[in-house]
């Protein structure tokens, strides 16, 4: 099993285990044996819909591990759920030696990490992510938190998990749309740092889109998940608190967040990962217009993302994006950091007003 390290300075902050085994229980068990008291927080739906997650929950329960089920949704990504997790830990008598293991997607890992970070001024936590998106992004890097007053992830802390356990087996039962959301974040990661993985990922997801079954590509996807985790672990090791390089991970996200907020206003279904894919194509268009790339990057990404089954067109009039990029009216006219790809494997930061960015894509 590959181990990837997140090191901040000289300190080992977190470990990422990329487990290739069809049955991840023995490997997870061996890691958990190093902890005296483990408490689990599991997304009830993930445990029900994902046989692999269900098996882990059942196994932990049979070993006497207390388990708290939550409903992981954006609406319930709130302080109320964090307080419910804290109540569970208190009722169970969890002490400072506790390890809180989250089993679920990004919403579950974000909330559990936050609850553990403030419980008794911080106890250890670990993640067993059950979606591709959380494996390549949310469960790595220590961003935890909840939504508040209609702002996403506005309350939270950056604190590293003890470990993140990646198992490709959870992906077998993942709905196609969830797989595509993770695909978009993975492609985004390889556009930031390629090492030859971008094209491999495009080929793999194109094959899946053409109907090849994931079970026959499990070791390939596991290798790409590991490669993507290595890129993110490296970035986080160098810039844990997002003062510089970590901003690169927001490639496509400024456009994506604007689209997501318009989608919410208009009651349109637009999951985060799909918005990131479209946002990355728009960022490439900006780069083409500014002469930062060879002028054909947007066309290339459109072709590649399309082949993978990702949407590539903004579902809203482009002129609506700029106002949606401002978090509040007072920010109007201010420059924001746009991460723009110069090619596959290299991005730069450009500070522009949202209006300037939208003009480049219009």
Q: Does 137 bind ligand GLY (CB under 6 A)?
A: yes
C-alpha atoms less than 13 angstroms from C-alpha of 99 in its C-beta half-sphere: 19
Q: Please count the CA atoms within 13 angstroms of the CA of 304 that sit on its side-chain side.
A: 26
What count of other Cβ atoms lies within 10 Å of the Cβ of residue 182?
A: 26
Interface stretch with ligand GLY, choices 44-52, 136-144, 193-201, 288-296 (CB under 6 A): 136-144
Name, in order, each residue with C-beta under 8 angstroms of 94's C-beta and a sequence gap of 6 or more. Answer: 37, 39, 100, 119, 120, 123
Q: Which stretch binds ligand GLY (CB under 6 A): 42-50, 51-59, 135-143, 189-197?
A: 135-143
Q: Rule CB under 6 A: is residue 257 a binding residue for ligand GLY?
A: no
Among 271, 181, 195, residue whose Cα is nearest residue 230 = 195
Instruction: Kindly state the DSSP code that residue 63 receives in the 8-state scheme.
Output: T
Cβ-contact 228, 248 below 8 angstroms: no
**Under the criterion CB under 6 A, does residue 141 sit at the interface with ligand GLY?**
yes
249 in contact with ligand GLY (CB under 6 A): yes
Give the Cα separation of 131 and 151 in Å (integer).
23
Spatial neighbors of 265 by CB under 8 A, at least 6 apart, are none
Verify binding: residue 161, ligand GLY, rule CB under 6 A. Answer: no
Closest CB to ligand GLY among residues 249, 283 = 249
Shortest distance, position 358 Cβ to ligand GLY, whole Å:
23
- The answer to whether residue 288 forms part of the interface with ligand GLY (CB under 6 A) is no
Residue closer to ligand GLY, measured from CB, 24 or 141: 141
**272 is an interface residue for ligand GLY by CB under 6 A:** no
Least spacing, CB of residue 246 vs ligand GLY, in Å: 5
- Binding to ligand GLY (CB under 6 A) within 217-246 occurs at 246
Query: Is the CB of 246 or the CB of 285 nearer to ligand GLY?
Result: 246
Question: Which one of 34-42, 137-145, 258-266, 325-333 is the stretch in contact with ligand GLY (CB under 6 A)?
Answer: 137-145
Site string for ligand GLY, 315-334 (x = CB under 6 A): --------------------
Nearer to ligand GLY, 137 or 304 (CB): 137
Question: Which residues have a Cβ under 8 Å from the Cβ of 126 and sit 6 or more positions away?
Answer: 99, 100, 101, 102, 161, 162, 163, 164, 165
Query: Is 4 an interacting residue with respect to ligand GLY (CB under 6 A)?
Result: no
Measured from the CB atom, the residue of 186 and 249 that comes closer to ligand GLY is 249
Q: Which is nearer to ligand GLY, 86 or 183 (CB)?
A: 183
Q: Other C-beta atoms within 10 Å of 355: how many?
A: 15
SS3 178: helix
Least Cα distance to 138 among 182, 172, 100 occurs for 182
Return residues touching ligand GLY (CB under 6 A). 137, 141, 143, 246, 249
């Amino acid at each position: 099993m590959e181990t990837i390290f997140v090191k901040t300075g000289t300190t080992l902050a977190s470990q990422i285990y990329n487990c290739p085994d069809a049955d991840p229980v023995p490997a997870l068990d061996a890691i958990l044996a190093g902890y005296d008291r483990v408490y689990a927080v599991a997304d009830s739906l993930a445990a029900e819909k994902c046989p692999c997650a269900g098996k882990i929950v059942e196994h932990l329960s049979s070993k006497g591990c207390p388990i708290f089920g939550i409903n992981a949704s954006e609406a319930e990504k709130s302080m109320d759920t964090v307080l419910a997790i804290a109540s569970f830990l208190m009722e169970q008598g969890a002490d400072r030696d506790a390890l809180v293991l989250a089993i679920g997607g990004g919403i579950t890992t974000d909330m559990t990490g936050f609850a553990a970070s403030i419980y008794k001024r911080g106890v250890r936590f670990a993640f067993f992510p059950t979606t591709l998106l959380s494996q390549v992004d949310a469960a790595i890097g220590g961003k935890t938190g909840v939504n508040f007053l209609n702002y996403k992830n506005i309350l939270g802390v950056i604190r590293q998990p003890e470990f993140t356990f990646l198992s490709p087996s959870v992906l077998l039962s993942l709905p196609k749309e969830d797989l595509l959301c993770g695909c978009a974040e993975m492609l985004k990661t390889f556009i930031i740092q390629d090492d030859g993985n971008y094209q491999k990922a495009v080929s793999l997801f194109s094959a899946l889109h053409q109907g090849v079954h994931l079970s026959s590509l499990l070791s390939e996807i596991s290798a790409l998940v590991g490669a993507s985790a290595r890129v993110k672990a490296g970035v986080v090791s160098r810039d844990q608190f997002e003062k510089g390089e970590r901003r690169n991970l927001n490639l496509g996200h400024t456009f994506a967040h604007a689209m997501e907020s318009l989608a919410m206003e208009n009651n349109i279904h637009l999951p985060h990962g799909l918005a990131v894919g479209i946002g990355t194509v728009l960022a490439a268009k900006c780069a083409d217009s500014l002469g930062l790339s060879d002028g054909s990057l947007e066309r290339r990404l459109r072709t590649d993302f399309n082949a993978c089954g990702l949407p590539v067109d903004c579902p809203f009039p482009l002129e609506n994006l700029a106002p949606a990029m401002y978090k509040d009216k007072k920010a109007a006219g201010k420059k924001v950091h746009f991460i723009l790809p110069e090619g596959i494997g290299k991005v730069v930061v450009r500070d522009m007003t949202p209006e300037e960015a939208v003009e480049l894509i219009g």
